[in-house]
Amino acid sequence: MDFEIGPGKNTFEIPEIDFRAELNDEQFAAVTAKPGPLLILAGAGSGKTRTLTYRVAYLLSQGVRAGEILLLTFTNKAAKEMLTRVEELTGVEGRSFWGGTFHSIGHRLLRMHGEAIGVPKNFTILDAGEAETVLKHAVESVESAFFKNKTHPKPGPLSSIISMARNTCESIERTVIDFFPQHHEFIERIEGFAEAYAKRKKEQNVVDYDDLLVFWLKLLDEAPEVAEYYQQRFRHCLVDEYQDTNVLQAAIIDKMAPHHRIMAVGDDAQCIYSWRGANFDNILTFPDRHPETEILRIETNYRSTPEILTMANAIISNRTTAGFDKVLRAHKPSSQRPYVVQAMDTREQAQFVITRIRGLIDEGHDPKEIAVLYRSHFVALDMQMELSRAGVPYQITSGVRFFEQAHIKDLVAHLRLVYNPADVSAFLRIFLLLPKVGEKTAQKLYDHTLAIAKKNEIDFIDALRHEATIKKAPAAARADWESVALSLRDMKQIADSGSPDEVVQVAIDGWYSSYLQGAYANYSNRLEDLNSLVGFAARFEEMQELIAQITLLNSETADRMEESNESIRLTTVHQAKGLEFNVVFVIGAADGFFPTRRSIDTGDTEEERRLFYVAVTRARDELYVLYPKMNTKGGPSMFLNPSRFLQEIPTDLFEPIRIRRNYGW
């Protein structure tokens, strides 16, 4: 086989490896493929990491030196795991390779050659918080009062917009339109802020995370001697999870390997991160950008049963956009079909899951090998509630528990203060969100408001809007203060005669919604969480019942988490990618939940389909897909249809279950 190598030999002995015996036919073909552009379509559970590891070992066995191989991954964990396996297999130390995340390799190159593009070697890297602070100061240098308006995006969302634009190589205008439409009116101003931010970073000799990639590409474009050296040095470029690359990363790979000796390993059916900037077209157009690409498929799945894979294949085969044909084939023996479970609502859905989980544990299943997956956090609200009530320990691997999320705690603080104006903690939680209000100031303002209420013999909530109270607030906070006070007054008026769910709705529609829009880049997701509280609150007749239940559930769940390490896993599907479990429950598989209402309304549900496919392929042995028949998230109850991804596949691919009142089946 014709491998072009540079002068010199490996200085180590590679042990004899029987590649034919240790790999299946598909893996062997990929590992021993001739040099050139290679696109390896590695299906879920097919041994992708094994294939990459043996490819490195094979290159070494053919005389390629470790220093001539560039290995790019998306996480430090993946890089470390791969290089450790290579070392165990070949005896070649991992540090002999240039292997790591895109950002770590970019950092290494800039330390060595950054001066060629005006980046001093002694630059420092800003963490996310520091980068937002620098951006904040840059914005204020352009428009000093920008952040005083509560409807304006704060540094966090601004940072997300600028970062997305850089990683997708798009304009600020295009980025805002596509990903942050709530900030459309600020497009021109954000463009100016981005320029001021870049200037300030340069003055301070600092770079942010994105700069490590942006400047790497700039180095390849503007320092031809450096580019040529590394293009010749790295004779083989291996890229893991290629479907997750963004435009910037794909451009870097193409520039680093004009010789086209790239092995891109990925799966277009698992491209689910467009909201992070991943570009689905990168993997689809790889053969166009690299002529004579050899496409190889690894389709033998070692994870799931044939029945689970048959459902997964059917789901992805109904896609309406371009993609590579691929059919997963099971290595495991046949077993039961997946179950599709119709529940009346999300509570009944949760109760079914708990009943089945208890049965699984009684049968000897390890709780850590049982997972409940969902599309969005709000879908899991009832699941968390019922697990807590039932005393079933669980861990959330995709963030904090529902009621511990900052935006939920903020809104609950509104409810607590309206119900109990003596709740100083609730007051502080709300008013510390205002500009120029720290803990000492907030405490003084509370004491002052209380004094005004007593002096004028009025309610504390009404005293918040008293002229004497407003005058005491910092000038920068007064507009927000009046808006908060108005929201709290409206909530109090409804609370006197209305139901808890009506009070929650007023809270969402008031000042906090405006604050949320400016404070968070994922504003729409957080708003979904808040809206789900409306349906939850409708179950209670009294506000104190609602507040007490939330507090008790949080406390009891935290105690149980400390008591038990044997917990089932709750996680979003996004966070579950790369994981696998013996038993998987996918909840909320209804149109409007999964796929989301937004994707349905825009007519773009294909990434949702790929996400559903990822969810199904997490299961090894048993799979339950559940959907509620009624939506009680907020407002009037509405009938739901099963997810279109279920409706599209033959009914003989799954076992339907309709829950009886005693939760049997």
Active site residues: 48-49, 240-241, 270, 618
List the one residue out of 134, 108, 129 whose CA is nearest residue 206.
Answer: 134
List the one residue out of 375, 378, 399, 396 whose CA is nearest residue 607.
Answer: 375
Instruction: Count the Cβ atoms, other than its own, within 10 Å of residue 549.
Output: 17
**Which residues lie below 8 Å from residue 439, measured CB to CB, with a gap of 6+?**
428, 432
* Tokens, residue 94: 């991992």
C-alpha span between 137 and 132 (Å, rounded): 9
C-alpha span between 64 and 68 (Å, rounded): 7
* Tokens, residue 399: 């963030």
Instruction: Count the Cβ atoms, other than its own, within 10 Å of residue 652.
Output: 8
Q: Is 46 annotated as a binding residue?
A: yes
What is the DSSP code (8-state) at residue 642?
B
**Which residues lie below 8 Å from residue 82, measured CB to CB, with a gap of 6+?**
49, 52, 53, 56, 71, 73, 99, 240
CB environment 57-83: b (16+ within 10 A), e (fewer)? bbbbbeebbbebbbbbbbeeebbeebb
Q: Which residue has the tokens 């089945």?
A: 356
Q: Which residues are registered as beta bridge partners of 339?
A: 624, 655
Q: Which residue has the tokens 């099971």?
A: 330
Q: Is 518 annotated as a binding residue?
A: no
Report yes or no: 643 and 589 within 8 Å, Cβ to Cβ: yes
Pairing between strand 124-125 and 206-207?
parallel
The CA-atom distances, in angstroms, between 259 and each of 222, 286, 458, 545 are 19, 14, 79, 68
Q: Is 535 annotated as a binding residue?
A: no
Q: Which residue has the tokens 């991804």?
A: 645
Report yes or no: 513 and 490 within 8 Å, Cβ to Cβ: no
Report yes or no: 323 and 609 within 8 Å, Cβ to Cβ: no
Q: Which residue has the tokens 């405006």?
A: 514
Phi first, then psi: give them for residue 475, nearest 5 degrees.
-55, -40
Q: Is 44 annotated as a binding residue?
A: yes
C-alpha span between 461 and 369 (Å, rounded): 50
* Tokens, residue 37: 């552009």
List the one residue out of 347, 308, 359, 350 whose CA is nearest residue 329.
Answer: 308
* Tokens, residue 341: 């479970």
The CA-atom distances, in angstroms, between 446 and each of 61, 543, 564 are 73, 23, 40
List the one residue out of 539, 435, 428 whose CA is nearest residue 478.
Answer: 435
**Which residues lie below 8 Å from residue 224, measured CB to CB, with a gap of 6+?**
none
State the amino acid at position 615 in one-letter form: A
What is the per-residue DSSP string for 56-112? Answer: HHHHHHTT--GGGEEEEESSHHHHHHHHHHHHHHH---GGGSEEEEHHHHHHHHHHH
Q: Is 510 annotated as a binding residue?
A: no
Q: Is 619 annotated as a binding residue?
A: no
Alpha helices (H) in 240-303, listed in sequence order: 247-256, 280-284, 286-289
- Residues at the binding site are 42-49
- Residues at the binding site for ATP are 42-49
